[in-house]
Amino acid sequence: MRRRWSILVVLGLVLAASLLLPPGAEGAPSTPPDIEAIRTAKRVEALRIAEQIRVDGVLDEPAWELAEPATDFYQQQPAEFQLSTRRTEVRFLYDTTTLYLGAMLYDDAPDRLITNDLKRDFGGRDGDLLGLVLDTFQDRRNAYGFLTNPGGAQRETLAYDNGRRNDANWHGVWFVRTAIRPDGWSAEFAIPFKTLRFPERQTQEWGLNLVRIIRRDNEITTWSPVPRQFTHYHVGYAGALVGIAGVKPGRNLQVKPFATGQIARGVLGDPGWSGDGDGGLDLKWGIRSSLALDGTYRTDFSQVEADEQQINLTRFSLFFPEKREFFLESPGSFQIGIGEAENQAPRRDLVPFFSRRIGLSSDGRPIPAIGGLRLTGRAGRQGIGILTMQTDSFEGHPGDNFTAVRITRKVSDTASMGAFYFGRESSGTGGFNRVAGLELLLAPRRTLEIEAFAMRSGSEGQAGDWAGRAGFRIDSSAHRARLGLLHVGDTFRHDLGFVRRRGIATLFGNYSRILRPADTTGRVREYSVGAEFEATGDDRYSRSLTRVGGLNYGMLFAGGGQLRAWVNSTFERLDAPFDIGSNLTIAPGVHRFEDVGVEYNSNRSARLSGSIEVGAGEFWTGRQSTVNGSARFRLSAHLAASANVRRSDVNLPQGSFAANLVGLRLDWSFTPRMFLNAFIQYNGETDAWLSNVRFNLIHRPLSDIYVVWNETRFPGVTRRALLLKYTHLIAF
């Protein structure tokens, strides 16, 4: 019966795909232009000036008329490599200390411009946008990104490996203002040279690209053409910015002292209110133009947003993403293996470096951090990442020292090798854990990446073991594929990594065929048909434990909405029972079950947007149905509210239960430098309410005032805390 049901579902998906795919669908334009020749010709000169530029978004200084404009943007979406439907002109000026950008973005309906939000690090693709990408070392792999929208919001990014590893949490000192005009909108950037790292030489030539998004048409364009499967951070396709001479990056020394204070109630069983205060220091020093040292003393993360609640219906640990700024910066220096493509879920079964192991307990509570240092960057052909952090004692456990070291060397334009070490050393009787390994990364073609890394653990009083991964990924305009083999030994232990399952070997892979209608003005821009599989056995390669296979079908609509449907078949061999829900147990044995699902995400740039996901099918010895829905309403660029509801109903012969999650969020941006965010969650599994309200004022560049209210309510227990944090950047 199961097999018959599965076959019917698969046939239904294939039939739907054949009916929905238009006859004219194709994977690529029939006559693509010579984009390498276009890239080579894309050069614009920055003009040196003596007059002062007032950054107000209005290009009224005479110098702007004298500068050569960068024009002729090429589409990524919808008509790949065709010229943009609207003209964009971008000019560059500079003086001894600052690089200026002035842009005029023509639009025949400026009243229809979309500004989805004004917060710092706004969602870049959810509204109209202008972005600057600078490859200051012209290594054609790494870049700076500075982005804004018509409301003048700021977003900056450090991009590594052509956009595969991005650090959107890096914040640099720069200024931007915008203005809405009858014929479009304009923008002015001012980027101090001391914010950037670049070679110390008399004349500069930097890789340059510019990106513009016209969101109501979902049109994405770049000045130097970039194939649609890549982002604008793929600086292998960048043009050039020339003409800058006689400038220096400066000492690039930033010192940021901070002070904190809090009052709390219900913490550690104390029914009354208590308060305390503290202070510390963060430091950033550009030792060389390509090497930076970050330091922190009496580290504090009180302003960080609360984790989103999850319900665990598996027998493995949940993965919660890192949110603390110190650990989020420079992720490319410690990321091992292939980075995930944009909008693709990363694999979480083996994460070689997982910074949440530092300064957080197993249940997510902060552990006091005494301080730490981080050195990242490049020295010649070597990439350097070194981090050390010392935590204090916590609930009777001694403090730990955590160390992460990764050194890579670029052996050719298409290959790099590296070595890494991760260790935890206890200052008391907690022992040690050390992991060391080697890695290899190849990119023989722009669309092909090959990875291999292996590491061995050693722990006090415990036998060591091996873990690693090898495989490749293809990411072309019409085909996306990945194949890999993962191995994690039974006694492999990694206190600075995330290991979902030990004692296993997993062969995994996926393939998607991308088809696009020849008519780019239609309602559907892209179709995909794909398959994926995962086969897990024991680490001796002698016994099958888990097999999961599935088919999927998707559509990308012209407005940005997406539809996806899938069917999965699962085989599980359990050697030991495990608990699910509050009082149910899955017995050992062989289990086979199948499920189907469909998900729709609407256009996020619309005033009212949302998503709905519905799944149903067999689940171990019973059945499960899941509904996950969200909605967001944007009252204006300043104010938006959203809600998310998830419900899972599990029915087993031994009992049933329902797991519910509810999340409510309010985002109020008074200006691009003052924000109020409220996040309220309800977890039905624990019957807990969690509230996190944060006010943030950027009182000067990279200097903040935070006021945070946290409240947690469990049955019979209520904890409340009001926190204040003040930071002040001093730049040299």
Residue-wise pLDDT for 179-196, tens only, equals 999 999 999 999 999 888
* Contact (CB, 8 A) for 506 and 483: no
Calpha distance 350→337 (Å, rounded): 11
Residue 319 has pLDDT above 90, yes or no: no
Residue 90 domain boundaries: 35-245
Least confident among 36-40, 153-157, 309-313, 640-644: 309-313
CATH of the domain at 107: 2.60.40.1190
Residue 351 belongs to a domain: no
Buried b (16+ CB within 10 A) or exposed e, 486-512: bbbbeebbbbbbbbbbbebbbbbbbeb
Residue 354: CB atoms within 10 A of its CB come to: 22
pLDDT (0 to 100) of residue 640: 96
The model's pLDDT over 207-222, given as tens digits with 9 standing for 90+, comes to: 999 999 999 999 999 9
Instruction: Name the residue with higher pLDDT: 25 or 552.
Output: 552
Q: Which tokens hold the place of 316?
A: 């493995």
Report pLDDT for 18.
43
In this prediction, residue 342 has a pLDDT band, given cuts at 50, 70 and 90, of: low
State the Cα–Cα distance between residues 422 and 91, nearest whole angstrom: 46
Tokens of residue 271, six digits = 């029914």
User: Could you say which DSSP state residue 386 is in?
Assistant: E
Token code pair at residue 335 = 């990321």
> Is 568 within the bounds of a domain?
no
Whole-angstrom distance, CA of residue 56 vs CA of residue 62:
15
Contact present, 279 and 258 (Cβ < 8 Å): yes
Q: How many domains does the chain have?
A: 1
So what's the pLDDT on residue 292?
Answer: 86
**Segment 220-245 mean pLDDT:** 94
> What does the buried/exposed string (b/e) look like for 372-393 if buried means 16 or more CB atoms within 10 Å of the residue's CB?
bebbbbbeeeebbbbbebbbbe
Q: Which residue has the higher pLDDT, 306 or 674?
A: 674
CA distance 401 to 382: 26
pTM of the model: 0.86
How far apart CA 488 and CA 349 sit, in angstroms, is 9
The dihedrals phi and psi of 518, each to the nearest 5 degrees, come to -65, -30
Instruction: Name the least confident of 23-27, 180-184, 196-200, 452-456.
Output: 23-27
Q: Are 235 and 224 in contact (CB under 8 A)?
A: no
| pLDDT of 13 strictly over 70 | no
Helix (H) or strand (E) holding 597: strand 589-601
Q: State the Cα–Cα distance between residues 146 and 175, nearest whole angstrom.
A: 10
pLDDT-based confidence at 27, cuts 50/70/90? very low
d(C-alpha 21, C-alpha 23), whole Å: 7
Determine the Cα–Cα distance for residues 438 and 422; give it in Å rounded to an integer. 12
**2: pLDDT confidence band, cut at 50, 70 and 90?**
very low
Instruction: Tell me the mean pLDDT in the region 630-651.
Output: 96
pLDDT recorded at residue 250:
66
Question: How high is the mean pLDDT of the chain?
Answer: 90
φ, ψ (nearest 5 deg) of residue 15: -65, -45
Whether pLDDT at 29 is above 50: no
What's the confidence (pLDDT) of residue 341? Answer: 61
- Establish if 707 belongs to a structural domain: no
Is a pLDDT exceeding 50 seen at residue 14? no
Within a domain: residue 336?
no
Section 602-615 average pLDDT = 95
Which amino acid appears at position 16 of this protein? A
Q: What is the pLDDT of residue 394?
A: 86
- What's the CA gap between 512 and 558, in Å, rounded? 20
Give 184: exposed, middle or buried? Use CB within 10 Å, 0-12, 13-18, 19+.
Answer: buried
C-alpha 159/C-alpha 132 separation (Å) is 12
Pairing of strands 253-265, 730-731: antiparallel
The pLDDT value given to residue 141: 85
Cα atoms found within 13 Å of the Cα of residue 495, Cβ hemisphere only: 21
Residue 159 in domain? yes
**pLDDT at residue number 307:** 85
The CA distance from 165 to 342, in Å, is: 10
At residue 32, the pLDDT reads 66
pLDDT band at 267 (very low <50, low <70, confident <90, very high): low
Report the distance separating Cα 463 and Cα 484, nearest Å. Answer: 27
**Residue 178 maps to a domain:** yes
pLDDT > 70 in the chain, percent: 94
Q: What is the mean pLDDT of residues 640-666?
A: 94
Higher-pLDDT residue of 584, 339: 584
Mean pLDDT of 57-61: 94
Contact 361, 367 (CB under 8 A): yes
Q: Evaluate whether residue 570 is within a structural domain.
A: no
Task: Count other C-beta atoms under 10 Å from residue 348's C-beta.
Answer: 15
Evaluate whether residue 205 is within a structural domain: yes
pLDDT band at 512 (very low <50, low <70, confident <90, very high): very high
Cα–Cα distance, 229 to 505 (Å, whole number): 31
Answer yes or no: are the C-beta atoms of 656 and 681 closer than 8 Å: no
**Residue 17's pLDDT band (cuts 50, 70, 90):** very low
